[in-house]
Structure 1
Amino acid sequence: MRTHGVASAWPVAVAFAVNGGLYGGMLSRYAEIAADAYASAAAFGVALTAGALGGLTGSVLAPVLMRVRTERSAMLVAGVAYAVLSVALPLAPSAVLLGAVFFVVGVVDGGHDVAMNALTVRYQQRLRIPLMGRMHALWSLSLAAGAALGAAAAALDVSPIVHLGVMAGVLGAAQLVAGRAASLPIGGDDPTARDTAHPVDGGGQATGRSESSSMPGARGLLAVIVLAAIAASYIEGPGQDWSALLLTDTFHADAGTAAAAPFAFSLGLLIARLLLDPCRTRLTAAQIATAATALVVCGAVGGLLAAQLQGPPLAALASLALVGFGAGPIYPMLFDTADTLGTRYRITPATTAGIISTCSRIGAITAPILVGALAHSAGLGIVLAVIAAAGALALLALPRALRH
């Protein structure tokens, strides 16, 4: 099979950009969306939870849809629907209807997330080059760009419906074009075609392993992947959601320094994801996973020590940036396990992506509840302890999952 350039994977790159841009744009207008729906802080929190539950539902349903259709079809439909339905958020006249819209938007977001990651695995298999790091870095960049454009629109007094409508039109059209292009053959192979032949092992020979004989090994590998995915959500979620409060409460930082905490974490994520694919050509996946998860543990433990020693807020910022840098490769590399599961156990990339996305959303729903309860009784320093524990779990699970 011929090796093609990264440019051949532009259809999935567009999908990641669309997903991140839409999410960032919506995030930037949440305050006005809540006000227009007459939603109190508590009611808006319930609406956001409905959106998270919708995302969980979409992650579960997406592999079922892709058994009937293809990853390309699911990515196209879910991406366009995500763009169109985002416009309904500022139109919701009440908190109840806002929650319903968030749920539906979450469903298509979950489906889009699974489809674009599964299709990326297909492209990696055809092109024989690592792509996951680039794609997830692009998602992070697009989210930041979408949020920045949303902030600019708000500053210029552009209404949320106009802003989100224009954004939906542009990004929805981009997803439509990219989704249709993703069905074109590359190198003589269609990356969206279902695998019907026997899987191929590392030496390129067709395996005769029966599905029943391979299932015990598949179940063990899936269990490790599930642990790593849940652990990753308990690293990224608290690292982004609670970092500003952590600096204010535990390190007594001023408002400006505290506001920089989520940025420091996100910057670490972005840099690591930009470096991931080049590193994959020089190091094994297990080596990268070991180093990345160890950095998460070191960063969180370092932050805990700084808190105990009443260190300066800059020490906390450095710790959060290190945690973000370590966390950056985890999700992209988890989605890469779809290659192993597909070639050795005949589990489709859509199923693997669905499992990982579902686990991450379970963590996104439960982590705020757990961290909030622990912080109420033990203080916000517990955020770093939770991240350290999750990092240790990822250190045990992720290298093992990738060593296969």
Structure 2
Amino acid sequence: MFTASDQRALRAVAVQFFVNGAIFASFIPRLPEIRDRVDISVAEIGLLMSIAGVSGLVGSAVVGPAVSRFGTRLVMLVAGALTALSLPVIGVARAPWVLLVGLIALQTFDVLMDVAMNLQGSWLSARRHTPVMTRLHGLWSLGTVIGGVSASRVAAAGISLSTHLVCAAAILLAALGFASRGLLRVDEHSGSESTEAPAQTIPNGRRVSPVLAAFLLVGFFSIALESTAIDWAAFRLTDDFSASTGLAALGYVAVATGMTAGRFTGDLIAARLGGSRLLSMSTIMTGGGLAAATLTPDQTVTLIGYAIAGLGVANLSPILYDAAAQHPGRPGAGLGALTAGLRAAFLTIPLLVGTLAASRLSVGSAIAVVTLPSFIGFLAMTGLISRVRSS
């Protein structure tokens, strides 16, 4: 039964999703400006982002014990506050090591906040007649749109990076404090140990390892497609088209807007056409959008391509998470493999794109070199998972 307190908790969790998206969008559109301020190359900032990605693995390792010890509410609030406070560190950085400290803090505490808010969101979604997890992720995307548009406007207005990120952190902290009163104070415990399927119930033990490997790889490829669109759109416009800082930020906004629209409409499309068709449509839009965004010499077409790519990647992660959660055998095995692939991509893709962009390739060509194999690999792995599950 979904009670009034559950409704308040759901609204509070929705605020957490929105704030989390806004935190990232506050600085990513201004990465080219951050790079110039710190006086490093595009390859070096890719290296720093990859090094910071290691801290995401650290956060993944400690989040389970932290939630068990302190509960999701406290973990969410403390991690959310520390994530927001990393923005001023990034904003005042004038040396690479200071920027790295800010990025490491952001990556570490974001993992803790992400897991805690998804746990509460999942528990509340299960109590309702209709699920809300996709719409919660839609609110995260909406937060990225609002944060991205704000970053674009303040950059165009000439507001300094440090002032912008300090003010953004203060606003986000106030939003987190306001929402804290409604969050669930008691966590649910499903007793997963007692519900774990015995090994002999798995239809074919020889198929488990290939499918888990496929989940790991499809997680890697999906984030390769998503992160190259989100993280490098501004660099594509500044470095390849000599766009202003304010205009370059619109590349990120185009992706984020497409993702937001896709996530708020994904449930409706899946209900009418089915999940398989939604996945096929999303994959086609992702590939076509990224091709237009990275290979065309026109700035307007590039922005349109990023918006289409955003529509496509919007539903890839929700569909994959659902498939991994339904994987037979030990509970969490599919999700564990999928998230391992996600973190591996966050660790390696920025360095790879940055290194290629620092060579004779343009930023668009560097992104295309990474996304084309990732797109082919994504198609192969989703096909393998679908065939094995259907058999």
1:312 to partner: Cα distance? 5.8
Which residue in the other structure is 1:65 paired with?
66
Q: Higher helix share goes to which structure?
A: 2
Partners of 1:106 and 1:208 in 2: CA distance: 31
Please give the residue correspondences for 1:239-318 in structure 2 after superposition, counting only pairs within 5 Å. 239-243=229-233, 255=243, 259=248, 261-300=251-290, 315-318=301-304
In structure 2, the partner of 1:76 is 77
* 1:333 equivalent in structure 2: 319
Q: 1:178 to 1:349 in 2, by over 3 A?
A: farther
* Residue 180 of structure 2 is aligned to residue 194 of structure 1: no
Q: How far does the alpha carbon of each residue in 1:107-145 deviate from its partner, in whole angstroms, 9 at most, with x for none?
A: 112322233334333333332534343233322221232
Which residue identity lines up with residue 195 of structure 1 in the other structure? S
Q: CA deviation at 1:81?
A: 1.8
Deviation at 1:365, TM superposition (A): 3.4
Question: Structure 1's 346 and 216: CA in aligned 2 closer, same or farther, altered over 3 A?
Answer: farther
Q: Distance in 1 between matches of 2:361 and 2:188?
A: 53
Aligned-pair CA distance for 1:79: 0.9
The CA deviation at 1:40 is 1.7
Counterparts of residues 314-325 of structure 1 (less than 5 Å) = 315-325=301-311
Count the aligned residue pairs. 381
**How far did 1:323 drift?**
2.8
| Alignment RMSD (CA, Å) | 4.3
Match of 1:361 in 2: 346
Moved more, 354-363 or 284-293: 354-363
Preserved contact between residue 62 and residue 350 of structure 1 (Cα < 8 Å): no
What is the percentage of aligned positions where both structures have the same residue?
23
Q: TM-score, normalised by structure 2?
A: 0.75
* Deviation (angstroms), 1:178: 3.4
Q: Is the Cα–Cα contact under 8 Å of residues 18 and 171 in structure 1 kept in the other structure?
A: yes
- Between stretches 109-118 and 364-373, larger displacement belongs to 364-373
Q: Which sits farther off after the overlay, 55-64 or 43-52?
A: 43-52
Q: 1:397 aligns with which of 362, 381, 386?
A: 381
Using the TM superposition, give the Cα deviation of residue 180 of structure 1 relative to its aligned residue in structure 2, in angstroms. Answer: 5.0
| Match of residue 175 from structure 1 | 176
Judged with a 3 Å threshold, the aligned counterparts in structure 2 of structure 1 residues 333 and 270 are, in CA distance, closer, same or farther, namely same
Change in Cα spacing, 1:381 to 1:76, as seen in structure 2 (3 Å) is: same
Matched, 1:209 2:197: yes
What's 2:53 paired with?
Answer: 52
**Structure 2, unaligned runs of 5 or more:** none
Quick check: 2:26–2:165 contact (8 Å CA) kept in 1?
A: yes
CA distance in 2, matches of 1:170, 1:81: 14
TM-score, normalised by the number of residues in structure 1: 0.73
Q: Residues 13 and 338 (structure 1 numbering): CA distance in 2 closer, same or farther, change over 3 Å?
A: farther
Instruction: Tell me how far apart the structure 1 counterparts of residues 299 and 163 of structure 2 sit (CA, whole Å).
Output: 40
Unaligned runs of 5+ in 1: 185-189, 200-206
1:52 maps to amino acid: G
